Structure 1
């Protein structure tokens, strides 16, 4: 935690690994830009487009800088991070598929929701999508998206122009208190034209699926740092008692561990060691450590600060609500069980 601007407890970039001077300068500028865009989805979309042209893809030798950028965005403002992260993920997916991303901004809509799944049917050289897709973040503000749909019994990924007439975000369905500006309600597709990306099952089977999952954890890490800075500022503003020191010490240790795990994963990825099952195990481990740290930060800052900042500090209250919802992308005990199965299958635990 560097610098000191009062209640943020020392705002500035969040680093994963050991950035050089140029990278630190870029992260500082990125933090400032994200703070200026805080809570504004349209400005965040513009920032996403710019960063897509400037940030490296995972696994290309500068993964730690990519994840530092995502963590820095998370610490600055989770609304901005929630818009930028999927755009960067979409660009990485398209690069893996040797597809041209063009100049527009992208979302990734691959989660399955309740009811009948989204269906795709062949139509000439492409496909048509019919049905409702859930969890489509800021679809009304983006140009295109990578969307998963079912072709018979096979799940495939498609590139879709969100500006066409057959795409209709469903209004009035996003009532979240966290990430309130990031409307992630459903979208109805009505004979919407789509282009297949990769073969059936490719989206989930490709190595980059695990790498992108760690990128999301980097955002959680940054969000937790942003909240922890409020606890640090409170401890600096008055003489802390032993309980306050205990919470601050525990938060420092948990965030240190989370940062180390992300740095190690970035180094392993750039060394080519996270292909196949090893990549998925690394993602499950990183997400378990980072999400657990973030939840502990939320709990300890609540205990240490009491109700006042949640009731009177707009920035802190929004950070807490945003991170609490964002963390639900982690599947908690189900992901821990998945990691347990991987440990048994592989026969070699990390320890």
Structure 2
């Protein structure tokens, strides 16, 4: 079930680093710094969205940490392109810090001819290792706006995080403090969340989840072939194939709709695709435990790390809240039929 090879140029070096990284972030960031963003994957809505989703899935199939590192970098590139902002230069690595928390408030304050950020931003993945980020902050009139910042600028402090996660162990996500940090606006108030590209980025994350499952399914297929008379592994493997094939079809359909500009509600599309794939990830992890068993999870380094990475990665999907949000966008009629 390996995804079809992407034809995007410039991706091979990253895939090679992903195959060798063993969950380490440094070699992945090194390749990103050396590669112009345009040579990684196409932008969403460019007519090659399926190639973008396949590329993300392909990276995750090699290494989930690699997908977790490159996806926000590529999302930042897409956001800047959608805002008609300058493309990130070679030598930069980007994150997107848009999480909110009640005990962490980040304010954007106009100061003479510039904006400055003051306050704290939570859940800033790799903030101490990236060069740049797109950050959401509250504006004086109560809006929420995105800003581009250099993480090496004065006033930026990536706070140490007590990161004890077994999955994505080097993708540390801690708070960042900003103290009168110069920032460049990207879009107006509300633009970041209101644009369709916000949803296309969310589907790109789901493509990573999907690709991360494939080696686990391959291991299940191998186990089934070794024990052809055991119906339980065969049943679980067949079920997973159905679930992941449904996810593949959902990704392909979403890409086609995005490129052909025939999406009635971007939120409905994104929620449906993400939910379908998140369910498949949960089923994949359950099958790994039940069919491959504790021996595989205890002694197979690659499989154990992949399962741990996937479990943490897919936890950013909030099933109940996201399904409730999906219901709120439905206008009636199943899929418009």
TM-score bracket, normalised by the shorter chain, equals: over 0.9
Q: Does the 8 Å contact 2:223/2:233 carry over to 1?
A: no
Structure 2 spans left out of the alignment, 5+ residues: none
How far apart, in 1, do the equivalents of 2:229 and 2:284 lie? 18
Q: After TM superposition, give the deviation of residue 205 of structure 1 in Å.
A: 0.5
Equivalent in the alignment of 1:201? 190
Equivalent in the alignment of 2:69? 83
| 1:170-210 superposed Cα distances (whole Å, 9 cap, x missing partner) | 11332212111101111111111111111000000011001
Which of 179, 183, 208 is the equivalent residue of 1:190?
Answer: 179
**CA 1:236–1:342: 2 relative to 1, 3 Å:** same
Which of 43, 52, 55 is the equivalent residue of 2:37?
Answer: 52
Q: After TM superposition, give the deviation of residue 48 of structure 1 in Å.
A: 3.3
Equivalent in the alignment of 2:275? 288
Q: Does the 8 Å contact 1:71/1:220 carry over to 2?
A: yes
Structure 1 spans left out of the alignment, 5+ residues: 2-12
Equivalent in the alignment of 1:134? 122
Q: Does the 8 Å contact 2:131/2:151 carry over to 1?
A: yes
Which of 149, 160, 182 is the equivalent residue of 1:160?
Answer: 149
Scaled by the length of structure 2, what TM-score is found?
Answer: 0.93
How far apart, in 2, do the equivalents of 1:32 and 1:231 lie? 25
The 5 Å alignment of 1:88-127 reads 88-103=74-89, 104-127=92-115
Scaled by the length of structure 1, what TM-score is found?
Answer: 0.89
Equivalent in the alignment of 1:6? none
Equivalent in the alignment of 2:250? 261
Q: Does the 8 Å contact 1:173/1:186 carry over to 2?
A: no
Describe the SS at the equivalent of 1:347. Answer: coil
How far apart, in 2, do the equivalents of 1:233 and 1:29 lie? 29
Q: After TM superposition, give the deviation of residue 30 of structure 1 in Å.
A: 5.6
| 1:112-155 superposed Cα distances (whole Å, 9 cap, x missing partner) | 12314111111122211111111111111111100001113111
**CA 1:183–1:317: 2 relative to 1, 3 Å:** same
Query: Alignment RMSD, CA only?
Result: 2.0
